[in-house]
Each structure stands twice: as structure tokens, then as C-alpha cells.
Structure 1
Amino acid sequence: MRRVRRCTALGGATMLALVCSGAGLPPHLLPGGARSPGTPVTADANPPGTGDSALLASVGFLGAPRHGQARAVAEARAAYAERLEKAEARRVAAAKRWGLRRVPLRAPAPPEKKPKLTTEPGHISGAGLPPVIVSVPTDKKVVFLTIDDGSEKDPRMLEMLRELDVPYSSFLADYVARDDYGYFRKAHRYGSAIQNHSVNHREMPKLTYAQQRTEICRQQDTLEKEIGERPEMFRPPYGAYDRDTLRAAASCGVRVVPLWAEEAFPDRIAYGRADRKFHPGDIILTHFRGKEEWDGDMIGMLRRVLNTVTEQGFAIARLEDYV
């Protein structure tokens, strides 16, 4: 089938989307399509099955004369463009509603091939052990938001990140999450990946190998039961681990042990480098905490993170798309 080569430039308050013949419609923008959990909306997304043939199938024109097919493609792309503009308008309104200084930047499309991960210098490594990382190797100006524990379950946080279309990963400890896994199932439906932070949040090197394995594997089983997916990442409480931790994690199906480069609070960001700036691929840590533990709340923390990330020219991407 001959492709239509014309591109349409779409002006918006915060973006310029180029809708060209090679950039098919993402599933959530196709008629009847559904968005996969945690998949960000991007103008250049081109997932399998969303090229011209999928467009034609979605509007019922397969087998039609070529001029009819071309018209169907043009109409579908026009609808796609309109949905992009409406989605961005909603993000502009959401940024104002949540008190952000600017609309968060959109992350670029994830890499077709995930980068090779190697253990951060100074950390434990070895054959058969999952890599320990504080950042992801990439030259894209993206960082990754991760939220630990699960004691504070603020519904406003879920709404804020959903309305702004900001991806994040939740690392849950059972002892504080178990009273309401329904909250985290909702977070997962809204797009959060769910990962492992142990059962009881104990300092791993103080435990035997068998005890560490129980802490990790039991939480793997719990999250698979409660969320429906078995995690592939484990973050040790306090960032403390030893070789037995990595051995136990690997035996439980863990592929990666992500630590962090920065930690976010409502009143500050603690940087791991002297330049006090984000670097491409940095992992940001924060927590499900409220006013009982912080001088502030999760909305204030997110506002600080999003404002700072945006002002430094970065976008928040989905960690699971890169590791």
C-alpha cells in the first residue's frame, strides 16, 4: 500500500506534535483502544500493530479502493492529532490545578533495545548476581521516579500523577502496604509499576541468608498475588545489602537491584553529587509518607520534584522501559 507522505504540524500550548505516515496511533488513541498500565502518551509512539494497516482496520477500510484507504488514513491521523492536543490541554490544566510552575516535559520514546546494565563502581558484583545501579546508562535527558514503603496512601497523589501522565515505580514493603493493597492495585491500574521492598523492612546484612531469602521471596509471592505481576526488581531497605542479599534476590527471580542517585522530600532534594544537579538516567527515591513523618505531604514533595526536574530540562520516564 502506498503511504501518504504528508506531515501535519500541530501547535499546542506546550508541544509541537508531528503526525507523519510512519508514526502509527498508540493503542489508547485508537477507536476502542486501551492504554497499557504505565505506558506514557507520546507523539512519536509507534507500537506494534498501529501502522497504516491497523489504522485502516480500525475504521473498516481494508480492501477499499486506494483513494478511500488514503482518506481513511488521513481521517484517522486527524483524529489522533486532535486527541494529542486535547491530552496536552488536560495536562496544562492539571499543572495549574496542582500548582506547578510549568507543565512536566514529555519523556521521549523508550529505547527499542534496553541498555546493558552493569553494577555501579564500589558495589558488590559477581557472576549470577543482579546488577546494583543508581542510574541507567542513557544520553537522554530522563530521570526515574521511585516511591518506597507504602505507609501513606494519599488518593490525591494517584490523581495528580495520573492527570499529569507522569510514570513512577512503587517499591512496597508488606508490613505497611498490607492494610490496603487495594490502593496499590488502583495505582497499578493508573500506571505505576509495583516492585519489591521486602516484607518487614529489615536491614538485610543483619539477617542470615535464609532470613533474607524469606524477606524477598515472600514479598515476591505476596505482590504476585495482590497485584497480578511478579516483580523483577528489589530495593533493599535503607540501601543496605551484602552478597547474600544479591544471591537471595537472584534466587527469587530479581533481575535488578536499583538504589538511587537523589532523594526527594517536601522541603528539599538531597543530591548524591557535588554539582547538585540531575544527570541523565538518575533514579530518584522518595517515600509514601505524610505529615506525621514529614514537614509536608506527598503533594508538596511531588510538586518540588516535578518543578525541579522540569526546570533542569529533564522528563520523568518509566524505569521499567529502560531496565
Structure 2
Amino acid sequence: MLAAVCLTAVVAGCAAPAAQPEPSPTGGASAALGAVPLKVPGLARQEEEGSGEADARQADAARAALEAAQRWGLDRPPLKAPPRPATRTALTPVQGVKLKDGRPPVVFRVPIQEKVVFLTIDDGFEKDPEFSRMARELGIPVSAFLSDYLVRDNYGYFRDLHQQGVEINNHTINHRNLKVLDYETQRQEICDQQDQLERQIGVRPRLFRPPYGEYNDDTLRAAASCGVQAVPLWNEEAFPDHMEWRYDDRTLHPGDIILTHFRGISDWKATMPDLLRKVVNDVTAAGFSLGRLDDYL
């Protein structure tokens, strides 16, 4: 039959039909033609332009970060934290984490491997607009733990902070040592501040920090009854001129929580931007980035 087809082709003055490609084990006959690139008009140019635009955006972002760092007197731009995790960190009873059934976990260090640490700021006494602007322009993530008696005169400052990405959490109504209070009084201190922050900021916090880091089982039981899901404490405390360390190695570890306070000239003889500059410089020099605690815990 093949000979007859060829003979007919010759008589008709045309070439014999081309041999059909062998079927490919992975993609049929079309895979056999894979060696021949499919050219789409303009596609390569679009890819080059897209890559160029991405490079330009990265260069612009790097230039803006450098300018912001110079404007605020940093040694170098802060390192960028990894993307926000898809799920919060699963907690197990490891160093830095205390777990008990029916109680929110107490966490000194978030158990992660990435070189990320967390800046947390307590109470709310100092309300420095320059600190707010500095944190926003540098993109520094912060978690605030507020006591009502110190912030009730200007909740607007903290609403603005929250709108720019600062998470607002619970530090009790009156900043009392909870360990010396009975269960009902502790519960009032915690739950009333949950209610107040929901009214004033529009959030009902998941995180709670006891004043002075002092707590007992009644504290954790009361916190759980108020909807608290975790109790972060800290491993380092930051000041405008030094860092105080919990451990003798005097170094940062992945997941460390850094404590500081809303304070200023009257307490520190320095400003909150001075404090933030010190923290960011120290964290960056150690090869760490700052993450938002609420994203992980």
C-alpha cells in the first residue's frame, strides 16, 4: 500500500508524504517536536520588560530604605523580615515556653529557626509623634501592651499607631502586681482592659502581658477567661543606651522577645526615636530582622 501511495505521489508531481513522528512516551507526537522552540511574537520582549520593571522597583525600594535609614541616623537599613507565616507557631514545652492545660502559654522566646526577634513596648506613658513617624518610615513592626491608666488621656495616639500596623495588646487597667491580688481582682484588671481596648481601638487582644512580668496560676486562669490566647514575657530589655540580658551569653537568639517601654526625656534623658535607633542598630548588626510578634504567637 505504501508503494502505491508513493507511486501516486510521483505521478502527480508531488513529494511523498513525510514520515509521521514516533509517539513520545511523555507527550505524544507533539513532544517529539519539542526541540523546535515555539516563538510567540513579542513574548521575549514582554518578559525582558517585566524583569526590568521588577528590577527597577527593587532598586527604588532599596534606595528608599537607605534614605530612610540615613534620615533617622541608622548605621544601615534594617534587615527585611521573612514573609508573614501562613500559620502561627505551634508551641511545645521547650526552653522559653511554659504550657499548662487550660491556661494560655507563657512565652519568653518563640520557637522558630529564622533569625527574627520581636520588639514589644509596654504601658503607654510617652506618646511621641516622632517615634510613630520613625517606625512607619522605617517599616519597623512593633507590638504594644497598654495600661489604661497611662493611655486614657490620649487613646487617639494608639489608634493611629494601630492603623499604621502596630498591634495593640493588654497590660491591665492599673498596672498592679497581679501576684498579690485575688482571682476576681486579677480578672477585673485583665477583662476590663480587654473591654476598654475593644471600645477605644476596635480590637480585643489575643495577647496579654502581666505588669512587671509577675503572675501566678490565678493570673493565667483569669486571662484565659477573658479570651487571652498567649502571655508573652521577654528575654531582653532595651534602653536608649544599652540592652539588659536574661542569659549570660548576652546575645540574641531566634524568636527572642525584646521588652521596652513608652518613655522619654523625663525618664531616660533620651527620646523614643533614640531608643528605636539603638534597638534597630543592635538587631541589624547581629544579623537579625524584626518581626511582628502577633504574626507568630
Same fold per TM (> 0.5)? yes
Equivalent-residue separation in structure 2 for 1:174 and 1:143 (angstroms): 27
Query: Aligned in 2, Cα 1:181/1:72: closer, same or farther, shift over 3 Å?
Result: farther
1:170 to 140, 144, 152: 144
User: In the TM superposition, what is the alpha-carbon distance from 1:117 to its structure 2 partner?
Assistant: 1.8
* Structure 2: segments with no counterpart, 5+ residues: 1-39
The structure, 1 or 2, with the larger RCO (C-alpha pairs under 8 Å, 6+ apart) is 2
Equivalent-residue separation in structure 2 for 1:274 and 1:292 (angstroms): 30
2:171 is the counterpart of 1:236:
no
Please show how residues 136-147 of structure 1 align to structure 2 within 5 Å.
Answer: 136-147=110-121
2:240 is the counterpart of 1:273:
no
Query: Aligned in 2, Cα 1:125/1:306: closer, same or farther, shift over 3 Å?
Result: same
2:220 is the counterpart of 1:246:
yes
CA contact (8 A) 2:125 2:151 kept: yes
Query: Aligned in 2, Cα 1:120/1:215: closer, same or farther, shift over 3 Å?
Result: farther
Query: Aligned in 2, Cα 1:110/1:214: closer, same or farther, shift over 3 Å?
Result: same
User: In the TM superposition, what is the alpha-carbon distance from 1:247 to its structure 2 partner?
Assistant: 0.4
SS at match of 2:244: strand
SS at match of 2:154: helix
SS at match of 1:293: helix
Equivalent-residue separation in structure 1 for 2:253 and 2:58 (angstroms): 29
Deviation track 1:91-116 (CA, whole Å, cap 9, x = no partner) reads 21111111111111001123333221
1:205 to 169, 176, 179: 179
Equivalent-residue separation in structure 2 for 1:106 and 1:272 (angstroms): 26
SS at match of 1:108: coil
SS at match of 1:92: helix
Letter in 1 for 2:236: E
Please show how residues 47-126 of structure 1 align to structure 2 within 5 Å.
Answer: 79=53, 81-118=55-92, 125-126=99-100
CA contact (8 A) 2:96 2:108 kept: no
Letter in 2 for 1:168: V
2:133 to 145, 152, 159: 159
2:233 is the counterpart of 1:288:
no
2:192 is the counterpart of 1:218:
yes
Please give the root-mean-square deviation of Cα atoms over the aligned residues, in Å: 2.2
Query: Aligned in 2, Cα 1:220/1:77: closer, same or farther, shift over 3 Å?
Result: farther
SS at match of 1:104: coil
Equivalent-residue separation in structure 1 for 2:44 and 2:172 (angstroms): 54
**Where does residue 300 of structure 1 map in the other structure?**
274
Equivalent-residue separation in structure 2 for 1:166 and 1:123 (angstroms): 25
User: In the TM superposition, what is the alpha-carbon distance from 1:73 to its structure 2 partner?
Assistant: 8.1
TM-score by length of 2: 0.81
CA contact (8 A) 2:91 2:97 kept: no
Letter in 2 for 1:140: E
* Structure 1: segments with no counterpart, 5+ residues: 1-65
Q: Percent identity?
A: 53
CA contact (8 A) 2:172 2:193 kept: yes
Equivalent-residue separation in structure 2 for 1:307 and 1:247 (angstroms): 39
Which of the pair has more CA radius of gyration?
2
**Where does residue 184 of structure 1 map in the other structure?**
158
Query: Aligned in 2, Cα 1:188/1:72: closer, same or farther, shift over 3 Å?
Result: farther
Query: Aligned in 2, Cα 1:255/1:103: closer, same or farther, shift over 3 Å?
Result: same
Letter in 1 for 2:86: E
Equivalent-residue separation in structure 2 for 1:124 and 1:316 (angstroms): 23
TM-score by length of 1: 0.75
CA contact (8 A) 1:119 1:132 kept: no
Equivalent-residue separation in structure 2 for 1:274 and 1:100 (angstroms): 27
User: In the TM superposition, what is the alpha-carbon distance from 1:82 to its structure 2 partner?
Assistant: 3.5
Letter in 1 for 2:281: N
Aligned length: 258
Deviation track 1:16-42 (CA, whole Å, cap 9, x = no partner) reads xxxxxxxxxxxxxxxxxxxxxxxxxxx
Equivalent-residue separation in structure 1 for 2:146 and 2:177 (angstroms): 15
User: In the TM superposition, what is the alpha-carbon distance from 1:241 to its structure 2 partner?
Assistant: 0.3
